[in-house]
Amino acid sequence: MIKRMTFKQFLFILPLLIFIGIFSIYPIVTSLMYTLFDYRTNDQQHNSFYMSQQLNGELYAQDLGYVSWFIETDMATEGLSSEDVAEFEAIKAEADELQKEYKDSKGVEKVSSETIEEIKAFNKDTRERLTAIYDRNADLDMYNRDGMPQILDDMDSCVVESNFIGLKGFGKLFTDTRFFKALLHTLLFTVISVAIELVIGMILALIMDKAIKGIGAVRTIALIPWAIPTAVSAMIWSYMYDGSYGVISKIFSVIGLIPKQSAMLLTANGAMTSVVISDVWKTAPYMALLLLAGLQVIDRGLYESASIDGAGPIKTFFRITLPLIKPSLLVALLFRTMDAFRVYDLIAILTGGGPGNGTESLSVYSYKLMFGQSNYGYGSVVVMGMAVCVAVIAVLYVKVLGAEVINND
């Protein structure tokens, strides 16, 4: 029978729920909201969340002031006909009148659709009338002839259209070839690196599980690569991969693994190999640590019984060790796969996603979208796509391996 939680018990877990809500649920909800908008901070038309048409009244008033100032300057042009001067004055008067209406506006504000239509009509009429004046006096040297169209364009941009796109961002994702290339690079990196780390980690774990002299020093030395920050290790490996003086690239070129020393980081295959080697060197000890925890809970009497029955090391490993560390193996593979799938810092520092986006992972791609192009809307769509892939991988691990991470009695 399951007991209901009392109010006092709930108060004990309330801080944890608040922590999860702020640092886990809120970012997820925010990212989902971003996916519904074409949100770009480097574009005035898309730098916020607009469900309907808006007007940047403050900027519009400034533009109207510039229009009035430009007209006043060009009205004084020698050789201008009285009819054109009168037309300039009429436009200036209308611009001044409209400027008074919006001079106290602050930023982007919601206005009625009728107001938006009136502003669009005024902008169009003003552009046509000013263009006609400048065209009729093409031979005159008007100072603001080239600057006026730019101001008129700014006036048009003051009308902010709705940037709500719903699920169109996900539709774009399915046709984004760069996303699928980044996904392929991520899967390739994840599968190869985790597979190699599993083999090396298992060997290290079996060695560190032995009660031999000096095993403490062996464990300490084995964990040093994992203790080094990823950014530091990436810089170290970048020097060793250098096409001019790198030790690793020189060795690989001498033994014939690469055609020349510079090919290590300047070709897509060489760069991907470099990233995998660096990741295996750093995180294989982490895999070994997780597997070692599973090995140390196995009853040693089982090994003694198997030895008495004549079972060799290989048979003992596959019949006793491997089945008993299955839960630990699931945890190790799950953690490492999730960590490898979201790889960013290693690739960003070592190759930057290059050459030619040949090592660009989903994390690197989403970073370039959001922080390189300020496109947070579509960048969030890519992140959500990556989250779905992570969820699928987690489910597959649990289903295929058939082990429970959390056992409820």
**Distance between CA atoms of 319 and 316, rounded to whole angstroms?**
5
- DSSP β-bridge partners for residue 160: 54
0.85 exceeded by the pTM? no
CB 151 within 8 A of CB 63: yes
What does the DSSP assignment read for 204-261? HHHHHTS--TTHHHHHHHHHHHHHS-HHHHHHHHHHHT-TTT-HHHHHHHHHTSSSST
DSSP-derived pairing of the beta strands 54-56 and 108-110: antiparallel
pLDDT tens readout for residues 307-332: 887 778 888 888 888 888 888 888 88
> What is the predicted pLDDT for the residue at 409?
42
User: What would the mean pLDDT of 124-149 be, rounded to a whole number?
Assistant: 90
Largest Cα–Cα separation, the chain: 116
User: What would the mean pLDDT of 180-188 be, rounded to a whole number?
Assistant: 95
Q: Which of the four pLDDT bands, split at 50, 70 and 90, describes residue 171?
A: very high
> What is the predicted pLDDT for the residue at 361?
94
Mean of the per-residue pLDDT values for the chain? Answer: 87
**Distance between CA atoms of 331 and 325, rounded to whole angstroms?**
10
pLDDT tens readout for residues 358-400: 999 999 999 999 999 999 999 999 999 999 998 898 888 777 7
> What is the predicted pLDDT for the residue at 401?
64
- Total residues belonging to the chain: 409
**Distance between CA atoms of 36 and 168, rounded to whole angstroms?**
8
**Distance between CA atoms of 407 and 181, rounded to whole angstroms?**
38
- DSSP β-bridge partners for residue 37: 164
User: What would the mean pLDDT of 118-141 be, rounded to a whole number?
Assistant: 91
Element (H, E) at 363: helix 362-367
pLDDT tens readout for residues 189-240: 999 999 999 999 998 888 888 767 777 787 788 788 888 999 999 999 999 9
Tokens found for residue 288 = 């070994």
Q: Which of the four pLDDT bands, split at 50, 70 and 90, describes residue 2?
A: low
CB 204 within 8 A of CB 293: no
Residue 361 is classified by DSSP as -
Buried b (16+ CB within 10 A) or exposed e, 351-390: bebbeebbbbbbbbbbbbbbeeebbbbbbbbbbbbbeebe
Q: What one-letter code names the amino acid at 7?
A: F
CB 259 within 8 A of CB 253: yes
CB 295 within 8 A of CB 209: yes
